[in-house]
């Protein structure tokens, strides 16, 4: 045993392994904490006032649930998996923090000016990743809707490979008009 420990590379790898595990556990804790609604919705003024406490959001079907399933901010916004989530916290989180520190979002007109752009970015991201977060709860093949219009639109969606966000934008937050580049990418005529 002692002889083994004298070999520097064994010690180094053991320390490396321990550090690695510690970092993983730390990242997991950090991830768990920073993906709670308590963190997302109260860590800065804009998210609290304009997103979490805003009436459209509070009244949306995703929040006033009849099934007891209530998606939070991170369910729709933070990618799944520890590595992807940590990356998103690091990059998106730093950018959001910078935005919050360098702008006085207590002034609603400043936030409003920024909001459209943010909404467009979120939509583009969901288009690009095929609405992956939506699909973590909704499996399109098994949606059994009674509504004829939804049935027809969902058939069309599967045939034409239109992803969820292509039709279901303005889902939970106050309305933001889609920009032309988004509609062009979705291609089909949406009849909401």
What residues make contact with ligand HEC under the rule CB under 6 A?
40-41, 47, 51-52, 61-62, 65-67, 69, 71-73, 75-77, 115, 118-119, 122-123, 131, 133-138, 140, 143, 145-147, 149-150, 153-154, 156-157, 162, 164-173, 176, 190
Residue keyed to tokens 């003024």: 45
- The answer to whether 125 touches 95, Cβ cutoff 8 Å, is no
**Rounded to 5 degrees, what are φ and ψ at 46?**
-65, -40
From the list 51, 42, 37, 52, the residue with the least C-alpha distance to 112 is: 51
> Looking at beta carbons only, is 75 or 179 nearer to ligand HEC?
75
The whole-angstrom separation of Cα 141 and Cα 67 is: 20
3-class state of residue 187 by DSSP: coil
> Looking at beta carbons only, is 30 or 99 nearer to ligand HEC?
99
> Looking at beta carbons only, is 8 or 68 nearer to ligand HEC?
68
> Looking at beta carbons only, is 23 or 33 nearer to ligand HEC?
33
- The least distance separating ligand HEC from the CB of residue 29, rounded to whole angstroms, comes to 21
């Amino acid at each position: 045993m002692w002889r083994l420990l004298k070999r520097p590379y064994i010690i180094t790898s053991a320390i490396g392994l321990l550090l690695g595990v510690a970092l993983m556990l730390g990242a997991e804790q950090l991830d768990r904490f920073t993906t709670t609604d308590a963190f997302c919705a109260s860590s800065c003024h804009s998210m609290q006032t304009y997103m979490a406490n805003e009436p459209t959001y509070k009244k949306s079907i995703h929040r006033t649930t009849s099934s007891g399933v209530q998606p939070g901010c991170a369910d729709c916004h933070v990618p799944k998996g520890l590595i992807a989530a940590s990356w998103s916290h690091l990059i998106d989180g730093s950018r959001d923090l910078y935005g919050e520190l360098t702008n006085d979002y207590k002034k609603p007109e400043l936030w409003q000016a920024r909001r459209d752009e943010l909404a467009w970015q979120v939509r583009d991201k969901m288009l690009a990743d095929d609405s992956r977060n939506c699909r973590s709860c909704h499996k399109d093949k098994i949606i059994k809707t009674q509504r004829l219009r939804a049935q027809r639109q969902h058939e069309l969606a599967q045939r034409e490979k239109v992803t969820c966000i292509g039709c279901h934008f303005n889902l939970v937050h106050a309305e933001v008009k889609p920009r032309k580049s988004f509609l062009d990418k979705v291609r089909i005529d949406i009849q909401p």
